[in-house]
Amino acid sequence: MERTTYYALRNTQPAIHITQYAVRILGVRVDALTYDDLLEQIAGFIAEGAPHQICTVNPEFVMEARRNPAFRAVLEQADLCLADGVGLLWAARRQGRRLPERVTGSDGVPLIAARAAEAGWRLYLLGAAPGVAEQAAEILTGRYPGLQVVGAYVGSPTDADAPEIIARVRQAKPDVLFVAYGAPSQDLWIARRRDTLGVPVMMGVGGAFDHITGMRRRAPAWVQRLNLEWLFRLITQPWRWRRQLALPWFVWAVMREKEVAGIGY
């Protein structure tokens, strides 16, 4: 049986990055961060310039990682794994560890855009249904004066589309690339191209553009506060039931994992 381990003080570059720790949930690393920490990390990544990948981990990710070694490897080598799911906060608490807050792609994108407008970061929006990335770009630039969205393109996660996307992104030279192809495709896509794209921050954002444009309704704040966003999604997107079966399996697997392997370093 896989044991849960956790460790503190990841080997980051102290000159730029804040000190952080992470929790391991069913073998998947989840970084303990707030939204403010995320923005600081992104500023550090951009200053550094090398490619960095950010993943928004939820219980579906964790269960997918358990059966998909390629996805597991991507999460393992990602620079940040955000706790995008209340189930992860619960699983951490069972280990006596605390993840400070849920940090979602859907709330993260507008926050990053707001900081980008102040800091001069250039954003690129890739993915979602045709026209959605462009519409999200318009909404964000309207909301945050001075924001530079240097590209919005639908593309697709297929290999056939990759050369065209890479050419467009390289030409636009963004600081932050948001990729909305759903998990695990978006994260696998980024990992395969991270060294070719020439972008310091690449983040898989799932349905974030759909939420910004109102294409898909986000759970109201009170539903989120009750930790019931998963139920809202099940009701409003019933076709996801098969994917959401991951949730009870996740709970079961976490409950079954009685022992904590001990504190690392």
**Contact residues for ligand UDP (CB under 6 A)?**
127-129, 156-157, 180-182, 206-207, 209-210
CA distance 108 to 119: 16
Q: How far is the CB of 207 from ligand UDP (least distance, A)?
A: 3
Q: Which DSSP symbol is given to 50?
A: S
Helix 246-256 vs helix 86-94: crossing angle, to nearest 10: 10
Residue 250 tokens read as 């996740």
Q: Which is nearer to ligand UDP, 35 or 181 (CB)?
A: 181
Judged by beta carbon, residue 200 or residue 206, the one nearer ligand UDP is 206
> Which residue, 43 or 154, is less far from ligand UDP as judged by CB?
154
Instruction: Find out whether 197 and 169 touch, Cβ atoms under 8 Å.
Output: yes
**Residue in the block written with tokens 């608490």:** 93
**95, 102, 112: which is closest to 33 by C-alpha?**
102
CB of 240 to ligand UDP, least distance (A): 7
**Cβ at position 19, least distance to ligand UDP in Å:** 29
Q: How far is the CB of 9 from ligand UDP (least distance, A)?
A: 30
**CA neighbor of 133 nearest in space, from 211, 46, 57, 194:** 211
Q: 17 or 66, CB closer to ligand UDP?
A: 66
- Whichever of 174 and 207 has its CB closer to ligand UDP, that residue is 207
Residue 39 or 188: the one with the smaller Cβ distance to ligand UDP is 188
Min dist CB 120 to ligand UDP, Å, is: 27
Summarize the chain as % helix, strand, coil (round to 5): 50, 20, 30
Specify whether the CB–CB gap between 157 and 186 falls below 8 A: yes
Q: Which is nearer to ligand UDP, 44 or 155 (CB)?
A: 155
- State both tokens at 234: 């099940």
Shortest Å, Cβ 90 to ligand UDP: 19
Q: Do residues 263 and 10 make contact, with C-beta atoms less than 8 angstroms apart?
A: no
Query: What is the smallest separation between the CB atom of 181 and ligand UDP, expressed in angstroms?
Result: 5
Is 7 or 249 the residue whose CB approaches ligand UDP more closely? 249
- Residue 40 and residue 31 in contact, taking contact as beta carbons nearer than 8 Å: no
Closest contact distance (angstroms) between CB of 153 and ligand UDP is 11
Nearest-CB residue for ligand UDP: 206
Alpha-carbon distance 27 to 254, whole Å?
A: 11
As beta bridge partners, residue 126 has 153, 179
Cβ of 229: how many Cβ atoms within 10 Å? 20
